[in-house]
Amino acid sequence: MPQKRSSSTHELTLAEVTDHLSQKEAVEGVILVGSAIKDALTPASDYDLVIVLRQAPVPLHVGVTSIEGRFTDLVFHTTAQLEQFLAATEPLAFANWVGRLVGWLEVGKILFDRNGLLQQAQTKAHSGTWIQDDTADDAFHAWNGVNYNLAVARRLFASEDPLYWQTLDLRMALYAPADLFFNYFRARSLRWDGDKWAIRYLNEHDPDYLILFQRFMNEQDRTQKFQMYQQLAVRTLEPVGDLWTEGDTVIMPDAKIVTTEMEQQALTFWEHLIQQEQ
């Protein structure tokens, strides 16, 4: 059974927790990220702490606890990852755990820095572009993912089998919302910065999309919901490309970064494979 225990920091202040961490040789530094560094805490706000470790009895990744009665996200990194970034000569992928550390350094407030390594790394993070620009690949995967799931839904919707309709209802309730919402930002080359950030962005830049998305989430009529799904898919992919239509062929290359040339080569190769030999 997974293990948990009552938080021993629930009644402590953030400053007290930071002080306790600073007394442990295993801790290299602590970074605070999120709304707490913007003087924007509300009663419902949480804390987000990045803890850089010199050593640990087991490898640590992420966790949750409570500080000052606030829900607290814990993200763990290592001095080896700090040093890897300090030695880097090329930008790092944000999906890479070291790249995530660079992201925290870009926006975070250092609360504790035993040997100055965090400050060195933060200075470097602010000195240039150290997160790899993989947004073109993100846009392709957004286009492919939204279109594929919509194509499956379209097939289910066209059926007269009640089991297929139940499957469609499930997919539109579970998969479609996340597929549309996250890919909206991927298609626009916007680095994800949390749910509240996403809602603020839509309220400011595309409130009609947010309204339609919320209507889609709440709609109970299958036909109406599916029509909204198609409308949202179009709007989600506006910066990238059109929706697939019946009879289209799409081949996805197996590559970390997919280019237009690769896509064309994949389609050409497919046509070669299915050509009748003379």
So what's the pLDDT on residue 134?
59
164-177 residue pLDDT tens: 999 999 999 999 99
Reading the block at residue 200, the tokens are: 């603020």
Cα separation, 97 vs 102, in Å, equals 9
Burial of residue 110 (number of CB atoms within 10 Å: 0-12, 13-18, 19+): middle
In sequence order, what are the residues at sequence separation of 6 or more whose Cβ sits closer than 8 angstroms to the Cβ of residue 126?
A: 106
CATH number of 14-125: 3.30.460.10
- Measured from the Cβ of residue 47, the count of other Cβ atoms closer than 10 Å reads 21
The residues pairing with 53 across neighbouring beta strands, listed in sequence order, are 27, 78
| Parts of the chain with a pLDDT under 70 | 133-137, 256-257, 278
Q: What is the domain partition of the chain in residue ranges?
A: 14-125, 135-247, 251-278
Reading the block at residue 105, the tokens are: 């350094």
Helix extents (H) in the chain? 14-22, 79-87, 97-107, 117-125, 135-157, 162-186, 195-205, 207-218, 222-236, 260-274
So what's the pLDDT on residue 133?
64
In order of 33, 36, 48, 148, 175, the CA distances from 26 in angstroms are: 21, 25, 20, 47, 41
So what's the pLDDT on residue 274?
78
Reading the block at residue 267, the tokens are: 């389609």
So what's the pLDDT on residue 138?
76
